Amino acid sequence: MNLITVIVPVYNTEKYLDRCIVSIINQTFKNIEILCINDGSTDNSLKILSDYANKDNRIRIINQVNKGLSVARNTGIKAANGVYILHVDSDDWIEPDMCETMYKEAEKYDADIVTSHVYFDYPHKTILKKEPYKKTNNFSDFLTTFTVKRGINSVCNKLIKRDLYLLNNIEHYEDISLGEDSSALLRLILFARVIAAVNKAFYHYDIKTSSMTGSAKKNVMEYIQALSKVENFYRQNNVKTDMFPLLRLKIAYINLYGNMHTATDAFRKLKEHLYSDIKLILSHPCFYKLSLKYKCFVFMCLVFRKFH
C-alpha cells in the first residue's frame, strides 16, 4: 500500500510541468503514488506526463474532459490508494523532503492533518509565509487560529488522511472556482482527531502562473457562497461556531480594500454582507485579537457606509 498519494491536477501547464513532476519523483520518501489528473489539456501536458509514466511506475494518469480544478481533485481522491493525500498543483513544486517530513510528523502524533509553511515565489523574490498553528486536537482552536491569525487558504501545504474525505462524504465543491481550498479545509478539520504542524516550508506556490483556475476575472461573491456552504455543513453536523462573521471579514478585506468604490454587482453584494456583519464583528470576543489592518478596515467601512 502506498502511504501517500500525491494528486496533481493538470491543465495546459506544459511550461511548468517538468519542474513539478521532477520535484515529486525526487522525494526522499519513496512510498508514494503520483496520480496525475489530465483535465482535458490541449497542449503537450499529456505527452510530458506519459513520458514520465513510462520511466516511473509510481505515476498513474487519469484522463478526463476539462471540468476544472475541484473536479480533478475529487477524481484523484476517489482513485487514490494512499493512506494520506498531498495536493500539488502542476504549476507549483515541492521541496525534496516534504513527503518524508510530513509523514513522520503524521506518524508521530497519529495525525489526520499535518500543516506546513509555504514559499510564495514571485518573479524576483521568494516570500516565506508561516502557518500559525501548533498541534491540536480541538477543531475550534484550529478554526480560531485560522481566522484570527491568517491561516493559509490552501490544501496544498497540508498532508491529509484520505479517510477524512471518504468517511465524511467531503468533496471539493465543484460549482465554485474561488474559495474551494478553504471551504474543503474548514470541513475536513471538523473530523480531524489530531492536527499537527511542521515548522518548515516545503511547498512553492508560483505566483506568476495562472494555475488551473485561470486568469479570467472571477465573481468575488463565490467566496461568500463557498463560506455559506460550509456554514450549512456545520449546521447539518450540529456544530456551532461564531467565527463566520470574522471569516467573511477576511474575504471582504482581501477583495474590498482599496476597492470600496467598485460598482459591480458582485462588489455591491459583498459590501452588503459586510455591513450586515458589522455589529457581530465589533462585538465578537476575538475582534481585539485581529491585526490592526483588519480593525482599521472595519472602521473605514463604517465611515464609508455613513457617507455613501
Tens digit of pLDDT for each residue in 58-101?
Answer: 999 999 999 999 999 999 999 999 999 999 999 999 999 999 99
pLDDT of residue 218: 60
The residue extents of the domains of the chain are 4-206, 242-307
pLDDT of residue 125: 92
Tens digit of pLDDT for each residue in 91-120?
Answer: 999 999 999 999 999 999 999 999 999 999
pLDDT of residue 268: 78
In this structure, of 36-45, 51-60, 81-90, 122-131, the range with the lowest mean pLDDT score is 122-131
Can you list the pairs that 42-47 forms with residues at least 24 positions away whose Cβ atoms lie under 8 Å?
Answer: 42/12, 43/12, 43/13, 43/14, 44/14, 45/10, 45/11, 45/12, 45/13, 45/14, 45/17, 45/90, 46/10
Tens digit of pLDDT for each residue in 259-270?
Answer: 667 667 777 788
pLDDT of residue 146: 92
pLDDT of residue 153: 86
* Average pLDDT along the chain: 91
Is residue 150 predicted with pLDDT exceeding 60? Answer: yes
Inter-axis angle of helices 14-25 and 45-55, nearest 10: 20
pLDDT of residue 303: 84
Is residue 210 predicted with pLDDT exceeding 60? Answer: no
Determine phi and psi for 245, rounding to 5 degrees: -60, -40
d(CA 251, CA 245): 10
Tens digit of pLDDT for each residue in 160-195?
Answer: 999 999 999 999 999 888 888 999 999 999 999 999
Percent of the chain scoring above 90 in pLDDT = 74
d(CA 283, CA 246): 11
Residue 112 gets the label, from left (phi > 0), alpha (psi -120 to 50) or beta, of alpha
Residue 223 pLDDT grade (very low, low, confident, very high; cuts 50, 70, 90): confident
pLDDT of residue 214: 43
Taking the CB of residue 240, how many other CB atoms lie within 10 A of it?
7
pLDDT of residue 211: 46
Instruction: Fold for 4-206, please state it.
Output: Spore Coat Polysaccharide Biosynthesis Protein SpsA; Chain A (3.90.550)
Q: What is the distance of C-alpha 62 from the center of its chain?
A: 22
How confident is the model over 24-52, as a mean pLDDT?
A: 97
CA angle 225, 229, 235 (to 5 degrees): 140
Residue, of 297 and 21, whose pLDDT is higher: 21
